[in-house]
Chains A and B, each alone.
Chain A
Amino acid sequence: MILSFQFSDITKWIHDSLSGMMSPGWTLFSEFVLAGIAMILLVVALAVILVYMERKVAGFMQLRIGPNRVGLWGSLQVFADVFKLLLKESFAPNSVDKFLFNFAPILVLAVSFMALAPISYGPGMQLWDANIGILYVTAVSSIGVIGILMAGWSSNNKYSLLGAMRSGAQIVSYELSAGLSIVAVIAMCGSLSVSEIIASQADGWWVFKGHLPIMFAFVIYVIAGTAETNRAPFDLAEAESELTAGYHTEFSGMQFGMFYLTEYINMVVISMVAATVFLGGWLPFHIFGFDAFNNIMDYIPSFVWFFGKVFFIIFLMMWFRWTFPRLRIDQLLKLEWKYLLPLSIINIVIVAFITVMGWHF
């Protein structure tokens, strides 16, 4: 059964009923509040799913079962973890910089929430359709570095400082490659707006349409994205066996919970951007010419497609974490500056050439 209504019908209904009840200013305000609540619920749902997924995936890769005591198949494990974090005492050591210490987790969390705004989850399901959507996401994620450095510095701990410095250097370097890979698609597509990028993939995802340069850009983006979120094999900043948790050593209780949550939300943001830009967003998988196949693919709702792609990339990132050892800081930075960045630049030049010549589909 094809869903015979669209998401815009729901939003129109809400808008009409609210403007019937209140003045336009209040309507706008209540719509903001509703959108905010929807976002928060989405983030909470994603966090719950992701934490559970990480532990189960890790368990299966390590020949064990993973959580299976709390709830059916361990599904309530996340709630138990959150409950534990809430019950812990969230204290600050005496000699920390009080304002920065308390502000750092809030900053990183707020920044990762902000990055979710322009992403499109389905046709019409978008919080903010800006014409600089992708640029906004990259720009806002960069602010997170300040939060990490704040956390490391204000902890008044040699280990935390070392970890924060390492992390800062790493994130700032890998943003370049990540940005340049996205620029490859934007060059071919011609617009920064999220909805237009998705619309331009109606006849095929960029990863297939753009051939080799875009596939290459996709691979570079996934690598750079893993490095940006401080996930293994680039997790030197929180390497447990070296510096005992790095920049968030001194945080406990819910403040640590906020850093933990931020790591997962960042992973989601990176995957969402990759799914949108390279894998067609909420568009289904069509093979040119197979109309029957395409019709079947259309039955599956678009947000299922979107989240399917997002979780596929998240699964890739988790797979990396449990397979590879970690890189040393100088090897990490060498990888970026000597290998990924020059390759990205060459890639961009090729893509520009292809676009100007009109050689793509």
Chain B
Amino acid sequence: MENKNTALPNDLTEEFVVNIGPQHPSTHGVLRLQATLDGETIKDILPHLGYIHRGIEKMCESLGYKQFIYLTSRMDYLSAHINNQACSLAIEKGLQIEIPPRAKALRIIMAELQRLTSHELWWGSCAMDLGAVTPFFLAFRDRERILELFEENTGNRLTMNYITPGGVMFDVLPSFVHKLKELLVKVKGYLKEYDTLITGNIIFQHRLKGVGVLPKELAISLGCTGPVARASGVSCDVRKYYPYDGYDKLDFKEVVFDGCDSWSRYLVRMEEIRQSIHIIEQLLDNLPEGEFRAKLKGIVKLPVGEYYQRVETARGELGVYIVSDGGNKPYRLKLRAPNFSNLGAVRPITIGSKIGDLMASMATIDLVIPDIDR
């Protein structure tokens, strides 16, 4: 087979190949983009992966069903709770057990808080990639407060392993509801500040409008999900179409814009922050009492068959596909990572544009590389 790894042309002399990454301040992880440039214009991009491939899928084949959850929070570590939720739901689907309502409510609160922190971090680093350094610190101010709450109640700041098959690991502290309510009031105030600082800033708008256009048909064909697809007019929120854990009883909007460019992706995520706050507020007011975990057997064995569970992480649809042969370890575990398909969108939207636009597009696609490599 001929070596088609490089995208070098055969006869042109003006183009040169530049490596962006793997150590680069704005590729959000270890991703190497081999860009063929003609002056400032990008002619071709080839992503090279594998720098943080840890073999999670293979490792999970030798761990029990209750054990492999701990590995999955390290995939997209900015949506750690949601990754755990996906795997727990897949196992519960196989075992056909019902989890108590308090556990469901706590799971949704943690997942939506996680989505909030993930979007805050995205906002800070998006502004930083475009040159404004101050929003990064402002975003981390909010994130720190939420992570403090996580640490108090779940034990950890980044890879929490709080959501387990059957429910959640511990009950929350009595002060949780009160502290969270205060925090949400503050965050809503800060969002107004962020709107004036960045969303209303004309330099920012000019950097993002019309940049990195992803047409709707191409988004569907590439398998993009999450805010990337919703900004191109594709309605694909898993929480609406395949609801889990009680999302069908909550009132929230699915945020879909038609702009198809980076500015729409920006607006989608800012609106999603508001929707997350709205969901948490609904749950905080009437948090059901009761058990926080259903009883599972000591050793969990899923019946023979295949189980697929999808959830909506901060970046798109995460799918957990478990093939079980009746034993106490999964026969094959496939994690359908949202960032893997979103990476496929980088090439079509940046070819023909300039390097500055590449940074703007990558900032709004919001990739987390450990999710791609697993």
Contacts and interface: CB of A to CB of B under 8 A. Distances in A.
Direct A–B contact in complex, judged by CB atoms less than 8 Å apart: yes
Interface of A: 58, 61-64, 158-159, 162, 232-233, 235-236, 239-244, 322-331
Given A241-B25, A242-B355, A329-B40, A233 B134 contact: no
B55 to A, nearest CB: 31
A322 B133 contact: yes
A325 B137 contact: no
B215 to A, nearest CB: 23
Interface of B: 16, 18, 24-26, 40, 127-134, 136-138, 141, 197-198, 201, 203-204, 206-207, 354-357, 359
Nearest to A234: B131
From A158, A235, A243, A328, residue with most partner B Cβ within 10 Å: A328
A244 B137 CA distance: 21
Contacts of B18: 158-159
B134 A244 contact: no
A324 B203 contact: yes
Contact of B24 (A63, A158, A162, A244): A244
Given A241-B26, A241-B359, A325 B134 contact: no
Contacts of B357: 328
Given A158-B18, A242-B356, A233 B206 contact: no
A233 B131 contact: yes
Contact of A323 (B134, B355, B356): B134
B201 A324 contact: yes
Contacts of B138: 62-63
Nearest to B130: A325
B24 A325 contact: no
B130 to A, nearest CB: 4
Contact of B207 (A61, A158, A232, A328): A328
Contacts of A159: 18
B119 to A, nearest CB: 18
A327 B207 contact: yes
Contacts of B207: 325, 327-328, 331
Given A62-B137, A162-B40, A325 B201 contact: yes
A164 to B, nearest CB: 13
B206 A235 contact: no
B24 to A, nearest CB: 7
A237 B196 CA distance: 27
A239 B24 contact: no
Interface of B is mostly: helix
Contacts of B201: 324-325
Nearest to B360: A328
Contacts of B141: 63
A63 B137 contact: yes
A23 B203 CA distance: 62
A331 B276 CA distance: 35
Contacts of B40: 162, 329
B16 A158 contact: yes
B131 A330 contact: no
8 contacts: A63-B137, A158-B16, A232-B131, A241-B128, A241-B359, A325-B132, A328-B356, A330-B354
Contacts of B25: 240-241, 244
Contact of B131 (A63, A162, A326): A326
A328 B354 contact: yes
Contact of B359 (A58, A162, A233, A242): A242
Given A158-B18, A233-B203, A242-B26, A61 B355 contact: no
A322 B128 contact: no
B128 A62 contact: no
A239 B355 CA distance: 12
Contacts of A62: 133-134, 136-138
Contacts of B136: 62
A242 B21 CA distance: 11
From B131, B134, B203, residue with most partner A Cβ within 10 Å: B131
A281 to B, nearest CB: 33
Q: Which 4 A-B pairs have the closest CB atoms?
A: A326-B131, A325-B130, A325-B132, A62-B137
A62 B134 CA distance: 5
A235 B137 contact: no
Given A241-B129, A326-B130, 9 more contacts: A63-B138, A63-B141, A241-B359, A244-B25, A322-B132, A323-B197, A325-B127, A327-B203, A327-B206
From B132, B204, B359, residue with most partner A Cβ within 10 Å: B132
A243 B203 CA distance: 20
A325 B356 contact: no
A239 B359 CA distance: 11
Contacts of B354: 328-330
Contacts of A158: 16, 18
B172 to A, nearest CB: 29
Nearest to A235: B131
A214 to B, nearest CB: 25
Contacts of A323: 132, 134, 197
Contacts of A324: 131-132, 201, 203
